Structure 1
């Protein structure tokens, strides 16, 4: 019997066999497999699942089965949206962009279990657009049900103490001292509180500055201040290199907010996994450079900044005859060349320039605070000089050349599409002129 992690890997193997994938896409699949095999994220700790572009569940972790209180047989092939309490989750099919292969999406979803219980999952969904004909969505979740439920306490002391001490997570109470004009804790309990050594005995009679330092204390004061104004507040915070998701609920008596009850769950593993998946979505697996998707996002920001500061320059770089390296020596040798070219190009850039790999033999350099024509020419010539140095590959000397096309905002276009289009035309002219001509294109 295959466990959940093995089933996810098996699904990826089937997709890999059925689809015509580029070498880069295959490396993405291998990296996902590596994450699954080398951690317990899918199997034990985090509710996770894979759905197709119709929103039908293809595979899930044991943690997701446990979360929904449903068996694997019940879940396979069922619609993800059919499991949700729609009036609380606030989504319909059209609101779920990853089903269309559109990047990442985050939302807190309310599920109804087989027993009728409502449970909340904070999800990050990542579209995997690396497959032809079908989009697959990888969904990673962190349960936040506790943070959604109002806390009610039995003020008989014995019951109260047993309840608080039995909490797996962390609960605390904050009050305000008008004379000191500051907040203070009257309770800090739960198993998680004991783990991080923030208990009631420890926090009592200590100021926020003493407990957390001046900068972090200022952050907490702002959050508590919002809660004492009657707002429900939630935030992420870090303590002792552990990440927590905290919610604050004001307690009102006769129209006056007398205290705030806070609850926190640890999300360190979830945040690390989300960060890793987000990095995979926006970076090239071979070179770890930001990819085409990241470039599209960044260009919009650079253009907005350029409107207020200096022009921005785009350099489109294309290796010449790289296909012959792959054909003659294989993709392994081709990957070595790409990695070497990455380092050579990067060595020619300063802090204002960011290097992207769009795939294959295509690179783009985005230079903020436009250096001007003369400086850009210098950068281009330096890159060409470095790229043209011979490469020792499989006992042979290999020579690679490069064509570079340049466009500048706002002279060559007002949008990212126009800038990239002009730079691509410039590259085409370079290739027509022996592949090493450094060519500018300008508006008529």
Structure 2
């Protein structure tokens, strides 16, 4: 097992990684911006290094500053968490070139999966189903229109280099396509430095299913179940659960096998997630993308399988076998996670501020991964995620009951908070039935008739 680890991230995920590393006896190094100096992850690490001002480009995305911190503290390895530099192949290569261990997949796999068009083509060649779409970038609005006409409206217009729900729009006709193409291309050039655009069939009623994979040190790729991620706002997840209430055993076996093939196709190592769209009407799966990192929602998988995915990541990076028998994995119960964000519960607009009260729920089967505490300030510099609330029950009904109690017992005063949305969701018959799709939040926010 490696002996020292620099965590190149912040907030709850940095705290989460540091907790597992310290349990394993690994010396931990936090890097932080000026804005984050008072957050818990900084205090909980064995060492902490200030790497720059609040602007992420000058701190958490500053690869030179992070590598300098690793050298100065004698770190043996770097864990990137999620976001920031976690899917940056150039940074992963730089880590390795500097003689450090990269806790993640190899740069080649990151590169292969980082471009949505290239990833689609690789998956199709590996026998993984992909939605009808372009195999090359649409270089002009006319090319996009020609592709959309062949695919059939409505279509999704996507930034090929995008991720995290950014750089996506739906077009229902030719005029809408031209307008959205220009917007997405411009956004992609500004944000990702790559204006390549993908046109893909849009499914109005679809579920978002993803599979947790692990590429083990011995070369095997295994799947640790699926997660249902269909409660979203602006194409970004708010709630995740496992097992998915949508799948039959045969469908589950099909999507897990496809995810393993996806990982094998790129020689995947470490933790990753294969994201799919599931069309309930036709019972079909389509590859969406592969996230070459640990996901925000990994705790629900940990709950039902009884594994620590961060520990498994560290073991794989160290060349060690997993703590479990891959042939004897079994799901126990049902787990649900909600993302507690500093945003208003109606329009989901960010609302940072100083936290005057922070009371976390407790109880059997209740877990909180928090990046903040009372007396701290949520700044506008980063994502609005403050904490993740995870519950584990004997079955879905038990998990829903535990989640209702836990949401009611979670008190945050100061910044805006989306906890009232989860109270509303847990009273929503569509969600509680398990028969919901990615349009559920939009339907909940439609003006009431009459």
Q: Smaller-chain TM-score range? A: under 0.3
* TM-score of the pair, normalised by structure 1: 0.26
Please say which structure displays the higher CA radius of gyration: 1
* TM-score of the pair, normalised by structure 2: 0.26
Highest relative contact order (Cα 8 Å, sep 6+), 1 or 2?
Answer: 2
* Structure with the higher helix share, 1 or 2: 1
